[in-house]
Amino acid sequence: MGKNKKILVTGSSGFVGKKLVEKLEYLDFKIIKADLVECINLNNFNEVKDIGEFDVVVHLAANTFVPDSFENPRKFYYNNINSTLNILEVCRINNASLVFVSSYVYGKPDYLPIDENHPLKGHNPYAQSKIICEQICEGYWRDHNVPVVIIRPSNIYGEGQNPNFLIPKIIKQARNGNINLKNSKTKRDFIYIDDIVRAYTMIVEKNIEGYQVYNLGAGKSYSVKEIVDIVCNFMGREITVLYEEIYRKNEIMETVYDINKIKKEIKWEPGIDLKEGLKKLT
């Protein structure tokens, strides 16, 4: 089918969605955009089923900011689960396949690095909503033969990200000369947006079959302090840094992915390390 595939991208005006649509259009895929900006309510099945025919869905649309999920859990559960259920049903009707973008769903790790077989743990409402969505995806594959690829991205960063996320917050504060953060020691696996988009594109280009799950990250973790030190070094001027050393209850101190499966099966690996990514943003 190749470039004749028609791709539905939900969340097409979002942080990752914009870049993905731009890449797929450059490669001459036929794209259908779907999110609130495009006036489609993904929670309304009547609207979703009228989108038209397509071959593959990349389902990016979701409420994602974890602190907000504690403030308004019903919104996260309702929007994330209902939109996914509606997308799966139209995949069933259209004999289409789904690339479902999940999240970090492993909670406090039992071991590092974390592979795809690690137990799933809903450590916040957002992650719990994604676990439920994954279970529904598996059900549609098992019962209705809807081909599904589940992607579990690590911490994405890059140009255009919500300023409330860690890396844009650090860069903004550094430009103002004062960095004030909750803690210095937590470590995360950060992946640059261009590497994410390249992985999604490679998956779309393949003939999606069966039910597969892939971790998508850099395979290396960095602490908050390490990120701050890199950014301050790039700024090349005096910056005041304060860590309150306040840690949330049940704080996850480190996450790092085992990405061997996606390297082997999709032939993808990260191309932009953290220093290079941060250099692009500072």
Tell me the β-bridge partners of 97.
Answer: 56
Q: What is the pLDDT of residue 247?
A: 87
Q: Within 10 A of 206 (CB to CB), how many other CB atoms are there?
A: 13
Q: What is the pLDDT of residue 36?
A: 65
Tokens of 227: 């990120």
Question: Which of the residues 77, 106, 126, 200 is marked catalytic?
Answer: 126
Cβ atoms of residues 19 and 200 within 8 Å: no
Taking Cα atoms as reference points, which of 4, 12, 62 lies closest to residue 200?
12
β-strands 178-181, 221-223: how paired? unpaired
Tokens of 3: 């470039």
Q: What is the pLDDT of residue 25?
A: 96
> What are the boundaries of each domain within the chain?
2-161+190-220+256-272
- pLDDT tens, 210-254? 999 999 999 999 999 999 999 999 998 899 999 999 987 778 999
Q: In the CATH hierarchy, which fold is given to the domain comprising 2-161+190-220+256-272?
A: Rossmann fold (3.40.50)
Active site residue 192: no
3-class DSSP state for residue 204? helix
| DSSP annotation of 37 | G
Q: Residue 157 burial by CB count (10 A; 0-12/13-18/19+): exposed, middle or buried?
A: buried
Length of the chain: 282
- Going residue by residue through the chain, which has 282 residues, state the pLDDT in tens, using 9 for 90 and above: 456 799 999 999 999 999 999 999 999 999 999 986 667 899 999 999 999 899 999 999 998 778 889 999 999 999 999 999 999 999 999 999 999 999 999 999 999 999 999 999 998 999 999 999 999 999 999 999 999 999 999 999 999 999 989 999 999 999 999 999 999 999 999 999 999 999 999 999 998 999 999 999 999 999 999 999 999 999 988 999 999 999 877 789 999 999 999 999 999 999 999 999 999 999
